[in-house]
Amino acid sequence: MSTVDDRAASGERATAEAADTPVVRVEGLSKRYEGVQALDDVDLDIVDNEVLALVGDNGAGKSTLVKSLTGVISPTAGTIYVRDENGELAEQTIEDPSDAQEVGIETVFQDLALSGQHDVASNVYMGREPRQSNLLGRLLRRVDRDRMEEGATEALAEIGFQVDPTAPTAELSGGQQQATAVARALISDPEIVLLDEPTAEVSVEGSEKILELVERLKDQGRTVVFISHNLDEVFEVADRIAVLRDGKLVQVLDNDPSLDRRDVVGLMTGAVQRLDDGTDETADAASEPETAPGSDGSADEAAATETDTERTADEAAATETDTERTADGS
């Protein structure tokens, strides 16, 4: 996997261009369910090797964005680009999780999507079970259980968990189940890992491990999208914070020490419309506030006010009911 640093070594011009090339770009991404605009015209770049936190209130559209990127749902409108091996953004049609896996995106879903009646090793290797290498095994396509158990144990140890690979998944603690889902996501060595509320059902100790894991994934050169309701966690691990509200991307902020969590909460709830912190990635020059930081925000509010009539006609027409595909694409 090439990193910004690798590319930086390869020349100034390349540095400027490649370092600026996001690993994923979404443009105009919208998802409408009957009566709900779950995602509304979202433009977002995911930068190479960053930890991007997605925050927002319940129902803001965080999971919908993740599911769109992984082909669990089909967006009503919009385009997804993923950086290809030439370092260029290429449009991708991601129709199911295996399409996402092919372009290096793995996901730990909010509901984990584990099979409770199967054991840990089976869940870690679900859909990509190694086959026995002896002749009979190859002929009969026999699953190599030994390799699965060893591999699952190793994958879990790698992320700091000791879990019996033969244990039925339904009998594990919340943290162990979370770890099993994470191990499954990492088994294919993905470049981009999406973690949808990985700490929600986990003990304090388990949450710490998961935050360490996020940092380790970044150290390994991966790009991580991290969703959490816990702003302490977000402030601890994120490089940038993308705030969603009512399906809209409100603002993307650099997580630097001057960032005030009350402002982030304000953006989440709508009490603050927009921060003028000079790091705005969603910038639309027309709606850039003129006011200085610390102003009462009324001008920002006026500038950022948007009406539902801006929604395009085809989005409104393409109302969809619950047509979610399952996480394994079946």
Ligand X SMILES: Nc1ncnc2c1ncn2[C@@H]1O[C@H](COP(=O)(O)OP(=O)(O)OP(=O)(O)O)[C@@H](O)[C@H]1O
Q: Binding residues for ligand X, per CB under 6 A? A: 33, 36, 38, 56, 58-64, 110, 322, 324
Burial class (CB in 10 A: 0-12, 13-18, 19+), 166: middle
Least separation in angstroms between CB 323 and ligand X = 8
Q: Are 49 and 3 in contact (CB under 8 A)?
A: yes
- The nearer residue to ligand X, 222 or 248, going by C-beta atoms, is 248
Instruction: Give first-to-last CA distance, the chain, whole Å.
Output: 30
- The nearer residue to ligand X, 39 or 211, going by C-beta atoms, is 39
Selection from ligand X, Mg ion, none that 307 binds (CB < 5 to 8 A by kind) is: none
Cβ of 79: how many Cβ atoms within 10 Å? 14
Binding site for Mg ion (CB under 5 A): 62-63, 110
Least separation in angstroms between CB 219 and ligand X = 27
Q: Report d(CA 19, CA 87) in Å as an integer.
A: 10
Least separation in angstroms between CB 37 and ligand X = 8
Phi–psi pair at 122, nearest 5 degrees? -65, -35
Least separation in angstroms between CB 98 and ligand X = 21
Least separation in angstroms between CB 40 and ligand X = 10
Rounded to 5°, the CA angle 51-68-305 comes to 80
Selection from ligand X, Mg ion, none that 198 binds (CB < 5 to 8 A by kind) is: none
Determine how β-strand 24-33 pairs with β-strand 77-83: antiparallel
- The nearer residue to Mg ion, 63 or 180, going by C-beta atoms, is 63
- The nearer residue to ligand X, 32 or 209, going by C-beta atoms, is 32
The tokens describing 115, both together, are 């099979």
Strand, helix or coil at 165?
Answer: coil
- The nearer residue to ligand X, 35 or 257, going by C-beta atoms, is 35
